[in-house]
């Protein structure tokens, strides 16, 4: 397999879907002339022209609303948010309209829109640019949420999201854009709602999504090398639909669970995972479910403090040792 960056993997997915389906369009701030704020859409304007790759005004409420309306008429828009934090001004369009129209129309109107962009802290851009709203979005029936951790998953999930007939909100991570990874050749897709065991283990399940998967894998390496603890790492990949069976299978195998999540702890994604485990695999647990989240405060601007705020391998290791003792 080829080794490319997470950024290149998404770019390939977008280019292949633009080529495959004339109804696919890319829209967002600086996606065309500037090649994307993070260069994810680099080269697409030159290749596909300004009718398929469209710069928009700085108005998320406006251009997301335009994309939602276009998707109801058969277009497949892929909307880039410079930060997912900026989605909040378009929640009426994204949740009330996109999330409810198929139900409200009795299944007559579909809304095959993709909204994508970075949703993460750790880049020293302050509290208003560092939200991780996957839990907010996943709370709405009718919406799908994916959080790829690797280049292969970034490409495969993006292609599946574009082909899906429901709204799919793809939450990437700025800190992953330059990370290298192996990506299969050809028409590589990853189905929505299917988790993956990224590392086999027997002593504890580390369940994570997005960049927290990388944190969990680093912790698992240290646990195996220094503590003799074999941690299994489960990458959710998709928050909604959620692959409960893969999570439960892992916990029934290892009998312990530590949930790693860059969400804040209160009402976060890991809260839902913890509830699922205790409701459906309680008798298999040999220790309490533990969680490692971002510290419960607005994103800290100071880089050294923000680093402490986010989950770290050290914090994961501490929790794992506690549940394995």
d(CA 265, CA 249): 24
Whether 176 and 201 share a structural domain: no
Helix (DSSP H) and strand (DSSP E) numbers for the chain: 12, 14
190 within a domain of the structure (yes/no): no
Catalytic residue among 16, 17, 129, 131: 129
Name the residue range of residue 87's domain. Answer: 2-183
157 within a domain of the structure (yes/no): yes
Whether 66 and 117 share a structural domain: yes
Whether 122 and 207 share a structural domain: no
189 within a domain of the structure (yes/no): no
Catalytic residue among 60, 80, 134, 306: 60
Question: For the domain that residue 15 is a member of, what is the CATH number?
Answer: 3.40.50.970
281 within a domain of the structure (yes/no): yes
Whether 213 and 129 share a structural domain: no
Closest CA to 139 of 267, 277, 291, 296: 267
Residue 171 contacts residue 147 (beta carbons within 8 Å): yes
Whether 67 and 214 share a structural domain: no
280 within a domain of the structure (yes/no): yes
Tell me if residue 129 is catalytic: yes
Judged on CB neighbours under 10 Å (0-12, 13-18, 19+), 275 is exposed
188 within a domain of the structure (yes/no): no
d(CA 247, CA 116): 25
Tell me if residue 60 is catalytic: yes
Whether 58 and 124 share a structural domain: yes
Whether 9 and 58 share a structural domain: yes
Q: Give the 3-state secondary structure of residue 318.
A: helix
Q: Tell me, rounded to whole angstroms, the distance of Cα 48 from its chain centroid.
A: 27
Whether 163 and 111 share a structural domain: yes
Looking at the structure of the chain, the number of domains it has is 2
pLDDT tens sequence for the chain (325 residues)? 899 999 999 999 999 999 999 999 999 999 999 999 999 999 999 999 999 999 999 999 999 999 999 999 999 999 999 999 999 999 999 999 999 999 999 999 999 999 999 999 999 999 999 999 999 999 999 999 999 999 999 999 999 999 999 999 999 999 999 999 999 999 999 999 999 999 999 999 999 999 999 999 999 999 999 999 999 999 999 999 999 999 999 999 999 999 999 999 999 999 999 999 999 999 999 999 999 999 999 999 999 999 999 999 999 999 999 999 8
218 token code pair: 């680093």
Whether 10 and 159 share a structural domain: yes
């Amino acid at each position: 397999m080829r080794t490319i960056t997470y950024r290149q993997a998404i770019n390939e997915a977008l280019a292949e879907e633009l080529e495959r389906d004339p109804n696919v369009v890319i829209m967002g701030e600086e996606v065309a002339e500037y090649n994307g704020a993070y260069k994810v859409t680099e080269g697409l304007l030159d290749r596909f022209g300004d009718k398929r790759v469209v710069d928009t005004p700085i108005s998320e409420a406006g251009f997301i609303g335009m994309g939602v309306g276009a998707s109801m008429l058969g277009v497949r828009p892929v909307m880039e948010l410079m930060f997912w934090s900026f989605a909040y001004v378009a929640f009426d369009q994204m949740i009330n309209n996109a999330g409810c129209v198929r139900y409200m129309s009795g299944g007559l109107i579909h809304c095959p829109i993709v909204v994508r962009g970075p949703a993460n802290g750790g880049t020293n851009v302050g509290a208003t640019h560092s939200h991780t709203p996957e839990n907010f979005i996943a709370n709405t029936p009718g919406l799908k949420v994916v959080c790829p951790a690797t280049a292969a998953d970034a490409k495969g999930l993006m292609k599946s999201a574009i082909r899906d007939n429901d709204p799919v909100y793809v939450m990437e991570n700025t800190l992953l854009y330059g990370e290298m990874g192996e990506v299969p050749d050809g028409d590589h897709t990853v189905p929505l709602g299917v988790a993956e065991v990224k590392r086999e283990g027997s002593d504890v399940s580390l369940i994570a999504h997005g960049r927290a998967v990388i944190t969990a894998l680093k912790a698992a390496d240290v646990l195996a090398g220094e503590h003799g603890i074999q941690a299994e790492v489960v990458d959710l990949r998709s928050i909604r639909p959620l692959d409960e069976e893969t999570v439960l299978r892992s916990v029934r195998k290892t009998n312990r669970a530590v949930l790693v999540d860059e969400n804040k702890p209160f009402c976060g994604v890991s809260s839902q995972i913890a509830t699922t485990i205790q409701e459906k695999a309680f008798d298999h647990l040999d220790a309490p479910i533990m969680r490692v989240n971002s510290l419960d405060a607005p994103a800290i601007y100071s880089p050294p403090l923000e680093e402490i705020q986010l989950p770290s391998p050290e914090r994961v290791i501490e929790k794992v040792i506690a549940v394995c003792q």
